[in-house]
Structure 1
Protein backbone atom coordinates (compact mmCIF):
# COMPACT_ATOMS: atom_id res chain seq x y z
CA UNK A 1 0.00 0.00 0.00
CA UNK A 2 1.51 3.33 -0.96
CA UNK A 3 1.68 6.13 1.54
CA UNK A 4 0.26 9.56 1.02
CA UNK A 5 2.29 11.93 -1.11
CA UNK A 6 3.43 15.20 0.36
CA UNK A 7 0.77 17.88 0.22
CA UNK A 8 0.11 18.72 -3.39
CA UNK A 9 -0.71 22.15 -4.74
CA UNK A 10 -4.47 22.71 -4.76
CA UNK A 11 -4.73 22.58 -8.57
CA UNK A 12 -2.73 19.35 -8.74
CA UNK A 13 -4.92 17.82 -6.03
CA UNK A 14 -8.08 18.66 -7.96
CA UNK A 15 -6.63 17.23 -11.18
CA UNK A 16 -5.68 13.96 -9.47
CA UNK A 17 -9.06 13.83 -7.73
CA UNK A 18 -10.78 14.13 -11.12
CA UNK A 19 -8.56 11.32 -12.39
CA UNK A 20 -9.55 9.17 -9.37
CA UNK A 21 -13.23 9.63 -10.18
CA UNK A 22 -12.69 9.01 -13.89
CA UNK A 23 -10.65 5.85 -13.23
CA UNK A 24 -13.18 4.54 -10.71
CA UNK A 25 -15.89 4.87 -13.36
CA UNK A 26 -13.81 3.11 -16.02
CA UNK A 27 -12.21 0.41 -13.90
CA UNK A 28 -15.23 -0.70 -11.93
CA UNK A 29 -17.16 0.09 -8.79
CA UNK A 30 -14.42 1.31 -6.49
CA UNK A 31 -15.20 4.15 -4.15
CA UNK A 32 -13.28 7.40 -3.85
CA UNK A 33 -13.10 8.61 -0.26
CA UNK A 34 -12.57 12.31 0.46
CA UNK A 35 -12.04 13.61 3.98
CA UNK A 36 -11.39 17.09 5.29
CA UNK A 37 -10.44 18.47 8.67
CA UNK A 38 -9.07 21.62 10.27
CA UNK A 39 -5.29 21.76 10.11
CA UNK A 40 -2.83 24.06 11.82
CA UNK A 41 0.40 22.68 10.36
CA UNK A 42 1.33 20.42 13.26
CA UNK A 43 2.67 16.99 12.46
CA UNK A 44 2.30 15.52 15.94
CA UNK A 45 -0.95 14.67 17.69
CA UNK A 46 -2.39 17.06 20.27
CA UNK A 47 -4.62 16.20 23.23
CA UNK A 48 -8.32 15.89 22.40
CA UNK A 49 -9.39 18.68 24.76
CA UNK A 50 -6.92 21.18 23.26
CA UNK A 51 -8.47 23.61 20.80
CA UNK A 52 -6.93 25.88 18.19
CA UNK A 53 -5.59 29.13 19.59
CA UNK A 54 -6.71 32.51 18.30
CA UNK A 55 -3.25 33.26 16.85
CA UNK A 56 -3.03 29.97 14.93
CA UNK A 57 -3.59 30.19 11.19
CA UNK A 58 -6.08 27.40 10.64
CA UNK A 59 -6.39 25.87 7.21
CA UNK A 60 -8.26 22.86 5.88
CA UNK A 61 -6.60 19.56 5.07
CA UNK A 62 -8.22 17.60 2.22
CA UNK A 63 -7.35 13.95 1.73
CA UNK A 64 -8.53 11.62 -1.01
CA UNK A 65 -8.12 7.86 -1.31
CA UNK A 66 -8.89 5.57 -4.22
CA UNK A 67 -7.76 1.97 -3.93
CA UNK A 68 -4.22 2.16 -2.61
CA UNK A 69 -3.54 5.66 -3.93
CA UNK A 70 -3.70 8.61 -1.55
CA UNK A 71 -3.37 12.34 -2.10
CA UNK A 72 -3.64 15.36 0.19
CA UNK A 73 -3.58 19.13 0.02
CA UNK A 74 -3.69 22.01 2.46
CA UNK A 75 -6.14 24.80 1.65
CA UNK A 76 -5.31 28.12 3.28
CA UNK A 77 -8.14 30.19 4.76
CA UNK A 78 -7.78 32.83 2.02
CA UNK A 79 -8.18 30.24 -0.75
CA UNK A 80 -11.14 28.30 0.64
CA UNK A 81 -13.83 29.92 -1.53
CA UNK A 82 -11.91 29.40 -4.78
CA UNK A 83 -11.03 25.80 -3.88
CA UNK A 84 -14.58 24.98 -2.80
CA UNK A 85 -15.99 26.27 -6.08
CA UNK A 86 -13.61 24.09 -8.09
CA UNK A 87 -14.17 21.08 -5.80
CA UNK A 88 -17.96 21.46 -6.08
CA UNK A 89 -17.73 21.51 -9.88
CA UNK A 90 -15.84 18.21 -9.82
CA UNK A 91 -18.37 16.61 -7.46
CA UNK A 92 -21.36 17.77 -9.52
CA UNK A 93 -19.73 16.49 -12.70
CA UNK A 94 -19.27 13.07 -11.08
CA UNK A 95 -22.85 12.74 -9.85
CA UNK A 96 -23.75 11.02 -13.10
CA UNK A 97 -21.82 8.02 -11.76
CA UNK A 98 -24.15 7.58 -8.82
CA UNK A 99 -26.52 4.65 -8.82
CA UNK A 100 -29.81 4.55 -6.96
CA UNK A 101 -29.53 2.25 -3.98
CA UNK A 102 -31.95 -0.67 -3.97
CA UNK A 103 -34.09 -0.79 -0.86
CA UNK A 104 -34.46 -3.99 1.09
CA UNK A 105 -37.87 -5.33 2.14
CA UNK A 106 -37.38 -4.00 5.69
CA UNK A 107 -36.68 -0.49 4.41
CA UNK A 108 -39.73 -0.59 2.15
CA UNK A 109 -41.92 -1.59 5.10
CA UNK A 110 -40.50 1.20 7.29
CA UNK A 111 -41.06 3.91 4.67
CA UNK A 112 -44.56 2.56 3.97
CA UNK A 113 -45.41 2.67 7.69
CA UNK A 114 -44.00 6.17 8.05
CA UNK A 115 -46.14 7.52 5.21
CA UNK A 116 -49.32 5.92 6.61
CA UNK A 117 -48.84 7.48 10.07
Structure 2
Protein backbone atom coordinates (compact mmCIF):
# COMPACT_ATOMS: atom_id res chain seq x y z
CA UNK A 1 0.00 0.00 0.00
CA UNK A 2 1.29 3.42 -0.92
CA UNK A 3 0.87 6.26 1.59
CA UNK A 4 0.46 9.55 -0.27
CA UNK A 5 -0.14 13.20 0.55
CA UNK A 6 -3.72 14.45 0.30
CA UNK A 7 -3.38 16.15 -3.08
CA UNK A 8 -1.49 13.22 -4.58
CA UNK A 9 -4.14 10.84 -3.23
CA UNK A 10 -6.90 12.78 -4.99
CA UNK A 11 -5.05 12.79 -8.31
CA UNK A 12 -4.32 9.06 -8.07
CA UNK A 13 -7.95 8.44 -7.12
CA UNK A 14 -9.01 10.28 -10.27
CA UNK A 15 -6.75 7.98 -12.28
CA UNK A 16 -8.28 4.92 -10.60
CA UNK A 17 -11.79 6.14 -11.42
CA UNK A 18 -10.85 6.74 -15.06
CA UNK A 19 -9.18 3.33 -15.32
CA UNK A 20 -12.19 1.50 -13.86
CA UNK A 21 -14.86 3.56 -15.62
CA UNK A 22 -15.83 0.95 -18.22
CA UNK A 23 -15.33 -2.15 -16.13
CA UNK A 24 -14.26 -2.68 -12.58
CA UNK A 25 -14.84 -1.12 -9.20
CA UNK A 26 -13.05 1.20 -6.84
CA UNK A 27 -13.43 0.50 -3.12
CA UNK A 28 -12.92 3.38 -0.71
CA UNK A 29 -12.67 2.97 3.05
CA UNK A 30 -12.37 5.51 5.81
CA UNK A 31 -11.41 4.88 9.42
CA UNK A 32 -10.05 6.63 12.46
CA UNK A 33 -6.26 6.60 12.60
CA UNK A 34 -4.45 6.90 15.91
CA UNK A 35 -0.92 6.98 14.55
CA UNK A 36 0.12 3.51 15.67
CA UNK A 37 1.84 1.36 13.10
CA UNK A 38 1.92 -1.82 15.17
CA UNK A 39 -0.76 -3.62 17.10
CA UNK A 40 -0.86 -3.53 20.90
CA UNK A 41 -0.12 -6.86 22.58
CA UNK A 42 -3.01 -8.31 24.58
CA UNK A 43 -1.06 -8.87 27.78
CA UNK A 44 0.91 -5.65 27.92
CA UNK A 45 -1.64 -3.06 26.85
CA UNK A 46 -0.43 0.50 26.65
CA UNK A 47 -2.66 2.58 28.89
CA UNK A 48 -2.93 6.29 28.71
CA UNK A 49 -2.06 6.50 25.01
CA UNK A 50 -3.95 9.46 23.61
CA UNK A 51 -3.16 10.74 20.14
CA UNK A 52 -2.48 14.47 20.08
CA UNK A 53 -4.56 15.00 16.93
CA UNK A 54 -7.49 13.01 15.55
CA UNK A 55 -6.73 11.71 12.07
CA UNK A 56 -8.58 9.80 9.34
CA UNK A 57 -7.09 7.07 7.18
CA UNK A 58 -8.51 7.01 3.64
CA UNK A 59 -7.85 3.94 1.49
CA UNK A 60 -8.77 3.26 -2.12
CA UNK A 61 -8.23 0.08 -4.09
CA UNK A 62 -9.25 -1.29 -7.44
CA UNK A 63 -8.30 -4.91 -6.88
CA UNK A 64 -4.69 -4.53 -7.99
CA UNK A 65 -3.53 -1.17 -6.74
CA UNK A 66 -3.92 0.25 -3.24
CA UNK A 67 -3.40 3.86 -2.26
CA UNK A 68 -3.95 5.61 1.06
CA UNK A 69 -3.57 8.92 2.84
CA UNK A 70 -3.83 10.27 6.36
CA UNK A 71 -5.84 13.45 6.86
CA UNK A 72 -5.64 15.43 10.09
CA UNK A 73 -8.71 16.94 11.73
CA UNK A 74 -7.67 20.46 10.82
CA UNK A 75 -7.78 19.80 7.06
CA UNK A 76 -10.70 17.35 6.90
CA UNK A 77 -13.22 19.92 5.63
CA UNK A 78 -10.91 21.01 2.80
CA UNK A 79 -10.15 17.42 1.83
CA UNK A 80 -13.81 16.39 2.00
CA UNK A 81 -14.87 19.23 -0.30
CA UNK A 82 -12.25 18.22 -2.87
CA UNK A 83 -13.28 14.55 -2.46
CA UNK A 84 -16.98 15.31 -2.99
CA UNK A 85 -16.19 17.31 -6.14
CA UNK A 86 -14.14 14.36 -7.40
CA UNK A 87 -16.96 11.90 -6.71
CA UNK A 88 -19.52 14.11 -8.42
CA UNK A 89 -17.37 14.35 -11.53
CA UNK A 90 -16.59 10.62 -11.75
CA UNK A 91 -19.96 9.03 -10.93
CA UNK A 92 -21.24 9.08 -14.49
CA UNK A 93 -20.72 5.35 -15.08
CA UNK A 94 -23.31 4.16 -12.56
CA UNK A 95 -26.04 1.78 -13.69
CA UNK A 96 -29.62 2.97 -13.56
CA UNK A 97 -31.90 1.27 -11.09
CA UNK A 98 -34.51 -1.21 -12.32
CA UNK A 99 -37.93 0.10 -11.26
CA UNK A 100 -39.93 -2.95 -12.40
CA UNK A 101 -39.50 -4.79 -9.10
CA UNK A 102 -40.87 -1.87 -7.13
CA UNK A 103 -44.03 -1.58 -9.25
CA UNK A 104 -44.77 -5.34 -8.97
CA UNK A 105 -44.69 -5.20 -5.20
CA UNK A 106 -47.14 -2.30 -5.14
CA UNK A 107 -49.65 -4.08 -7.43
CA UNK A 108 -49.88 -7.33 -5.43
CA UNK A 109 -53.01 -7.35 -3.21
CA UNK A 110 -52.64 -8.08 0.47
TM score, norm. by length of structure 2? 0.79
Structure 2: runs of 5 or more not aligned: 43-47
In structure 2, C-alpha distance between the alignment counterparts of 1:39 and 1:54, rounded to whole Å: 12
TM score, norm. by length of structure 1? 0.75
Between Structure 1 and Structure 2, the one with more helix by share is 1
Residue 78 of structure 1 aligns to a residue in which SS?
A: helix
In structure 2, C-alpha distance between the alignment counterparts of 1:62 and 1:8, rounded to whole Å: 10
CA RMSD of aligned residues (A): 2.7
Count of aligned pairs between the two proteins: 104
Structure 1: runs of 5 or more not aligned: none
Q: 1:109 aligns with which of 104, 107, 110?
A: 104
Cα–Cα, structure 1 residues 58 and 109, in superposed 2: closer, same or farther, change >3 Å?
same
Which residue is 2:10 aligned to? Answer: 14
Structure 1: which 4+ aligned runs deviate by more than 4 Å? 52-55
